[in-house]
Amino acid sequence: MHDDRSLVESRLRRVLGERVRPAVYPRSVPLDVTVWHAPGEPVPVAEGLAAPHAPVRTGDRWGAPWGTSWFRVTAAVPEEWAGETVEALLDLGFDENMPGFQCEGLVYRPDGSPVKGLNPRNQWVRVADRAIGGERVDLHVEAASNPVILDYHPFRPTPLGDIGTAGDTPQYTLARMELAVFDRTVWELVHDLEVLGELMAELPVESARRWDVLRAVERALDALDLQDVNGTARAARTELVDVLSAPASPSAHRISAVGHAHIDSAWLWPLRETVRKVARTAANMTQLLDDEPEFVFAMSQAQQLAWIKEHRPEVYARVKKAVAEGRFVPTGGMWVESDTNMPGSEAMARQFVHGKRFFLEEFGVENDEVWLPDTFGFAAGLPQIIRAAGAKWLLTQKISWSQTNTFPHHTFHWEGIDGTRILTHFPPVDTYNCAMQGSELAHAARNFKEKGRASHSLAPTGFGDGGGGTTREMVAKAARLRSLEGSPTVDWEPPAAFFAKAEAEYPDPPVWVGELYLELHRATLTSQAQTKQGNRRSEHLLYEAELWAATAAVRAGFPYPYEELDRLWKTVLLHQFHDILPGSSIAWVHREARATYARVAAELEAVIGAAQRALAGEGTRPLTFNAAPHARSGVPALGADPARTPDGGTRVTARPGGGFLLDNGLLQVEVDGRGLLVSVYDVAAERETVPAGAPGNLLQLHPDFPNQWDAWDVDRFYRNTGTDLTAVDELVADGGTGVRISRSFSASRVVQVVSLAPGARRVDIATEVDWHETEKFLKLAFPLDVHAERYASETQFGHVHRPTHTNTSWDAAKFEACNHRFVHVAEPGFGVALVNDSTYGHDVTRTADTTTVRVSLLRAPRFPDPETDQGVHRFRHALVPGASVGDAVREGAAINLPARTVHGGASVAPLVTVDHDAVAVSAVKLADDGSGDVVVRLYESRGGRAKARVTPGFAVSGVVRTDLLERPVEEGGLTLSLKPFELVTLRLSRAAGR
């Protein structure tokens, strides 16, 4: 037989595109359209409906960037359409290739009740299943003219990312606005042909099944009269019945389809627009659930559901009804789909506390699964946090984006730093916006790495980011793919049903130990420095506010600010979303974030101040409040006392050849004439920290123009070129304990103060940068005279080790990594810590005898925010010679929790004390349920075992261990035997009357 595949396939493409799809709507009439353009921010629905409208026609331009326009469409159903299915087709000017990234709309009835969302792939609104001739159609559309930021020529700088710079030029052209007859038979034929055409393209040429499908398609096209598609569509469908009913092979890969709409809580749009995006999508999905009885939709991020509850209660009522029916599935159990690298220990825990609690209180649903398809890698401390929150499964997809190494598993056990394992799944479909295309499903089956051991995978299905979620077209295709020869099988089901099946069929999956490092988007650890500083400061202020408010509540009857702390925690958690904290959002988002962090800080400082005044009482004695989990200056951890003045002082003298010598009897520090650290000598250890000829405190400037994803990526080639910033404008003694260094370069200026406090075993470096560079990367380097094959960096509830070498491609790919408050390098007998108050990105490299730690300070990408990081920034670091990991933990906490002085009359005993220095307290608070119980969370911080005694400073009537949500999991005691990095939460009931 002659090979005529190309002929038939080309015929199918043209007939389907030019004849069959247009025939879905065989008759139409124009709608009458009027519009009102709202000034400023979005208005309430009632105001939009009642506003005075003016006529507008298709072809007219509309929509200033970030504006809102209210369209009203009206018509009468033609008499001859009586009994037909009728839909309104509302094209606001969509580009079908950009669902989620341009204009969107929400349709309302005249009474203000929402109908469904409008999106580039979802432009229809059902008017009547059986129309009545002459019936009046009256619909309103709240249309958002969001500008296209990520265009066909991506990563180009644009002023459209902030309303203050976006201008007012209309962005869109009003297109098709019609009332039309919907031909269901033709619509079904479209999906018959699409599914079979996509299947053919994936089958081997030598497969008999491919030729069976080809001939059936050919017969269907022959049966179709192109001059009367609507009249002959049924006959064409008949020719396809046999090939569509051939069942899948028993060994076919099995796909659990989960309706999904991955909506970034902010990204190329501000938070206020996400509030509307989630309402549009939820309206769409609840409507689709009503129409499609087998469809299941899952929505993550409690914050987004809370927005719907607050701003669109009518949509929320539909959501709650669908949740109760088990078909709209709250998933993930987190407040937002956060970044997991940078949030601190308690913040990561509270993502689950607030997310799971919302789902429990609102829906009676508790999630076993964590849903993070788009997060930029996963910290090694996360598994035990997931388990402590009462969950056991994790889904993500993003690791498939890694540039260098292909991850070896799709279903596996992930083991964290404490040994906790959770079942983890990476969907082999390699997208969290699956559209049920044959190519996607075939890729999932081919790509699945567990073949022979397992047969199930998951496919998140739907358009995200405001693209409207799952479409009726996807559901139609899934119905044909339920069991179809040559294809994986497809069933709609909730995430938990998939995980239960995966767990049952694969009881002994492979184990991956340590962080799930994404070999991409490494620059998100540095971009938008002020957003990251706001997060770090907010986390520690929240810790202090809880600690001192709880202590004051128990000691002095202080009113514990439950509601205020709950609100502020949720605000901070929202800003840990994986495009806000990583610095990959538009200027508007980060401008608002800076203002929000300032408000959060002011409120928390007020709480802390009031609680400390209540504790200090009347008097003039200076009391030092120490919130750190370790004693310092004679003040106990978590308590307040007069601080002990350190013995001795610091001498600052001129150095021969230029520069200064700093000496406090513990450390001897040399700053040369270039303002660089050429010696940091540990007197007790008789050990030099800085290698000869390789000075520390060295600022290095690199070009930084990645191949794509400007705010997200730093490519390894940035290291090929760099400039050491050694020129000095001014070098003077400062404050009796330090040296001030001023430098200028290009359009920027740096002022540093290197200081050595009396009694301190660390060198402090305060850096102020007035930054006016573009596409540059600023590093601060510390070569260390330490021979280390690996180093430790703090992560949630512990630390993770990474290699300093590049033996393998996996090692080499980690050329930029995350730390929290410290990095520690060591050889037997001697270690050095570098601690910080607000930076995350860093790199560590080595030569034969030197290990160099470089802190990432600032970047200057121009997309999506062309003014990223311009302005003044302040950083604090400290170099700690002779440091153990325990010293790194202590100094890292100290630099982030500076002591506070309050004048009063009485010392403040700690609410709890712990007698083992390796056991760090991460939270002291009152229980969220208002019972007055005291909750203490602590963990082993050094990676060893520890037996510790917790001593309450108040009368206790009972102790239980709890999960993160403060629910009892077992009887507890005050003597703990902790495994390495083990996390424990204790709930202490206060004795009556105390």
User: Is the distance from CB of 447 to CB of 439 less than 8 angstroms?
Assistant: no
Quickly count: other Cβ atoms within 10 Å of residue 168's Cβ.
Answer: 10
Structure-token pair, residue 824 = 């520690």
Q: State the Cα–Cα distance between residues 440 and 9, nearest whole angstrom.
A: 19
Give the C-alpha distances (Å, rounded to integers) separating 177 from 58, 87, 91, 92, 127: 7, 11, 6, 8, 14
Q: State the Cα–Cα distance between residues 759 and 771, nearest whole angstrom.
A: 34
Write out the H or E segment, with its range, that includes residue 320.
Answer: helix 313-324
Q: Which residues contact 889 (CB under 8 A, 6 or more apart)?
A: 630, 794, 822, 920, 941, 942
Tell how strand 177-181 and strand 67-76 pair up: unpaired
Q: State the Cα–Cα distance between residues 208 and 426, nearest whole angstrom.
A: 33
Amino acid at residue number 24: V
Phi, psi (degrees; rounded to nearest 5) at 208: -60, -35
Q: Is the backbone peptide bond immediately before 42 cis, with ω within 30 degrees of 0? A: no
Phi, psi (degrees; rounded to nearest 5) at 155: 70, 20
Quickly count: other Cβ atoms within 10 Å of residue 968's Cβ.
Answer: 12
Strands (E), 366-524: 369-371, 393-395, 411-415, 421-425, 456-461, 489-492, 511-513
Handedness of CA 241, 243, 247, 248 (dihedral sign): negative
Q: State the Cα–Cα distance between residues 10 and 5, nearest whole angstrom.
A: 8
Q: State the Cα–Cα distance between residues 83 and 281, nearest whole angstrom.
A: 30
DSSP collapsed to 3 states, 547-607: HHHHHHHHHHCCCCCHHHHHHHHHHHHHCCECCCCCCCCCHHHHHHHHHHHHHHHHHHHHH
Q: State the Cα–Cα distance between residues 687 and 689, nearest whole angstrom.
A: 6
Q: Which of 32, 151, 212, 374 is catalytic?
A: 374
Give the C-alpha distances (Å, rounded to integers) separating 464 from 299, 336, 460, 470, 851: 11, 15, 10, 9, 44
What residues form DSSP beta bridges with 624? 641, 901
Nearest to 123 by CA among 250, 28, 34: 28
Q: State the Cα–Cα distance between residues 576 and 992, nearest whole angstrom.
A: 39
Handedness of CA 878, 879, 880, 883 (dihedral sign): positive
Tell me the chain's radius of gyration from C-alpha atoms: 31
Give the C-alpha distances (Å, rounded to integers) separating 326 from 203, 493, 668, 880: 36, 10, 67, 55
Q: Which residues in 187-217 are b (16+ Cβ under 10 Å) and which e?
A: bbbbbbbbbbbbbbebbeeeeebbbbbbebb
Nearest to 681 by CA among 761, 741, 767: 761
User: Is position 933 annotated as part of the catalytic site?
Assistant: no
Taking the alpha carbons at both ends of the chain, their separation in whole angstroms is: 93
Tell how strand 748-755 and strand 328-330 pair up: unpaired
DSSP classification of residue 17: I
User: Is the distance from CB of 386 to CB of 407 less than 8 angstroms?
Assistant: no
Q: State the Cα–Cα distance between residues 334 and 300, nearest whole angstrom.
A: 7
Known catalytic residues are 374
